[in-house]
Amino acid sequence: MSDSQDWEAQLAKLKADVDRFGSDLQFHGLSIAAHQVRLGLFDKGLVEVQEQQDYVNSVMNEQKANAIYLEGLLDGYSRMLRAKTRPKKKPEKKGDDKGGNGEDAKPKGKKRKLTEAKLGANKK
């Protein structure tokens, strides 16, 4: 056998071993890349895993920020709804319930002042 044929035979054997090894790993629920990273065989795999972890962390941070934002929105909306459903105070009618004879009656405070002014004027 020549060197090129020997080399091709070794390459074919190596490819067959890799294929068998890969199918065995897939059968057991592992991918070749995960197995290689776990064993630390390829630095590239480790870098890819770190990049993926960074991406996952950034997505999680974004989701946390979105959750905080939505929580604030919900809090604001619930406050608005409570304010809208709260019973409103009825405006007071002038002259009523102030102790007078009719709608145009003056409030008690003004009556007292006028009475005291009249009494003071009469005493002099």
Tokens of 84: 């809208």
Same domain, 84 and 52: yes
Question: How far, in Å, CA of 51 to CA of 35, rounded?
Answer: 17
pLDDT of the chain along its 124 residues, tens only? 577 777 778 777 877 777 776 666 555 555 555 665 556 555 665 677 788 888 888 888 888 888 888 888 888 888 888 887 777 777 766 655 555 555 555 555 555 556 666 666 665 5
Nearest to 33 by CA among 44, 19, 45, 47: 45
Tokens of 29: 């629920």
Q: Does residue 100 lie in a domain region? A: yes
Domain region containing 50: 45-88
Q: Does residue 84 lie in a domain region? A: yes
Q: Does residue 6 lie in a domain region? A: no
**Which run of H or of E encompasses 76?**
helix 43-85
Beta strands in the chain (DSSP E): none
pTM of the model: 0.31
- Cα 114 from chain centroid? 63
